[in-house]
C-alpha cells in the first residue's frame, strides 16, 4: 500500500494525462470518451479502473499495478 499522506497532490495534466498514449486516446475517442480529459476520465472512472485492473485495456498490453495505483490516487483526490 502507498502511504498517501506523504505524497504531493497529483495533477491531471502533468501526472495522469501522460499515462495515456495518443494511441489510447484515439482508440477510446471512437468509444465516445476522451482519456486526455480529466472530466471524461472521472466520468468513466469505474469502467476505466475495472478494465485496467482486469488487464483488458489497453487492448495491446496491461498496465503494471503501480501505474493503476497512481490513477486511483488521483481519482481519490476528487479534483483537477
Ligand atoms: C489506458 C488505455 C485505455 C483505457 C483506460 C481504456 C478503457 C476502456 C473502457 C473503460 C472501455 C469501456 C468498457 C466498459 O464500459 O465496460 C473500453 C472499451 C474499448 N476499448 Fe479501450 N481503453 C484504453 C485503450 C484502448 C486501446 C489502445 C484500444 C485498441 C485500439 C482500445 C479499444 C477499445 C475497444 C474496441 C472498446 C470496446 C469494446 C470492449 O469493450 O472491449 N482501448 N476501453
Give 42-50's long-range contacts (Cβ < 8 A, gap of 24+).
42/75, 45/75, 49/75
80 pLDDT tier (thresholds 50, 70, 90):
confident
Q: Taking 80 as the threshold, does the pLDDT of residue 51 lie above it? A: yes
Return the exposure string of 47-75: e unless at least 16 CB atoms fall within 10 Å of the residue's CB, then b: ebbebbeeeebbeeeebeeeebebbbbbb
Ligand 1 centroid to Cα of residue 2, in Å, is 27
79 pLDDT tier (thresholds 50, 70, 90):
confident
* Ligand 1 within 6 A of CB of 38: no
pLDDT one-digit tens code per residue, 6-46: 678 999 999 999 999 999 999 999 989 999 999 999 999 99
Angstrom distance (rounded) from CA 16 to CA 71: 6
The pTM of this model reads: 0.87
Angstrom distance (rounded) from CA 64 to CA 13: 21
Ligand 1 centroid to Cα of residue 5, in Å, is 32
Please name which of 58, 1, 8 lies closest in space to residue 28, comparing C-alpha atoms.
Answer: 58
Amino acid at each position: 500500500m502507498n502511504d498517501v499522506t506523504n505524497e504531493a497532490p497529483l495533477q491531471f495534466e502533468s501526472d495522469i494525462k501522460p499515462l495515456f498514449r495518443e494511441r489510447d486516446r484515439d482508440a477510446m475517442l471512437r468509444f465516445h470518451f476522451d482519456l486526455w480529459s480529466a472530466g471524461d476520465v472521472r466520468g468513466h472512472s469505474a469502467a476505466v479502473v475495472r478494465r485496467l485492473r482486469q488487464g483488458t485495456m489497453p487492448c495491446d498490453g496491461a498496465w503494471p499495478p503501480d501505474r493503476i495505483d497512481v490513477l486511483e490516487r488521483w481519482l481519490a483526490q476528487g479534483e483537477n
